Amino acid sequence: MKYFNLHTHQFTNQPDVLELVNQYPQEFDASIPFYSIGIHPLYIDENRLESDFKILDEKLALPECLALGECGLDKRSETPFELQLSVFERQLALAEKYQKPVVIHCVASFQELIEIKKRLKVSVPMLVHGFSKKVELAKQLIDNGFYLSFGKNLLRSRSVGTELESVFKSIPNDRFLLETDMVEEGIQDVYALAAKYKELGLNELQEIVNRNYNQVFDFRL
């Protein structure tokens, strides 16, 4: 595997890229070879929750479903936060049942996220996708066992002069993955920039990400 894309909303079917395509229960596409599936906090619909959870239960049992997600917490969402908490914790129980990693969407809810991981004693890997916060929060998350994934905001850091370059440099090499999310650029662009920021050759970076992929997705071995 030359490239692994932890989180994308578009399947590009490139032979040298393993894409973890984000899927939602009510919009499931069976033609996608590898995917994550979850109930996003912005799209919780109480009228179809039981139907959504039935689909999650079915799909998480399949080998082509590599992870649960994206799911999580978002205080900027109009969805009541207590409902978000309930749905998120119920999804984490499914991740534990099927021993699948969790791809997390988190907005302004990181302390709650850490508390939930501790309280529920979540054993599966938990990955915060699209990380764009400060180094102090990155360290706190890593110290609590999370992985961080970088993509869209890392690419944007090239032109807007954010602190994210230094944050990414500070991340231990065994705790990060890379993604495109919904940007037009390919995962190859993310890898190239990540290698530049880490002052590594592309092959070295590919080896690091491959090791992290194996650690996260083969953690049961």
Q: Tell whether the model's pLDDT for residue 158 goes beyond 80.
A: no
Let me know if 164 is exposed, middle or buried by CB neighbors in 10 A (0-12, 13-18, 19+): buried
C-beta atoms surrounding 165 within 10 Å? 15
pLDDT at 144: 98
Beta strands in 24-98 (DSSP E): 35-37, 65-74
pLDDT band for position 219 (cuts 50, 70, 90): confident
Q: Tell whether the model's pLDDT for residue 199 goes beyond 90.
A: yes
Measured in whole angstroms, the distance separating CA 160 from the mean position of its chain's CA atoms is 24
Read off the amino acid at residue 64: E
Q: 177 - beta bridge partners? A: 149
pLDDT at 161: 54
The position carrying tokens 């499931």 is 28
CA distances from 212 to 39, 120, 152, 154, 217 (A): 25, 24, 20, 19, 8
Closest CA to 179 of 22, 13, 1: 22
Read off the pLDDT of residues 38-63 as tens digits, 9 standing for 90 and up.
999 999 999 999 999 999 999 999 99
Show Cβ contacts of residue 208 under 8 Å, excluding neighbours closer than 6 positions. Answer: 173, 174, 200
CA distances from 95 to 59, 123, 137, 183, 203 (A): 11, 9, 24, 27, 32
Read off the pLDDT of residues 89-143 as tens digits, 9 standing for 90 and up.
999 999 999 999 999 999 999 999 999 999 999 999 999 999 999 999 999 999 9
Read off the amino acid at residue 4: F
Closest CA to 216 of 99, 121, 130: 99
Average pLDDT in the 19-37 region?
97
Q: What's the CA gap between 202 and 79, in Å, rounded? A: 41
Average pLDDT, the chain: 96
**What is the number of alpha carbons within 13 Å of residue 103 lying toward its C-beta?**
31
Tokens found for residue 153: 């905001």
Tokens found for residue 118: 């501790």
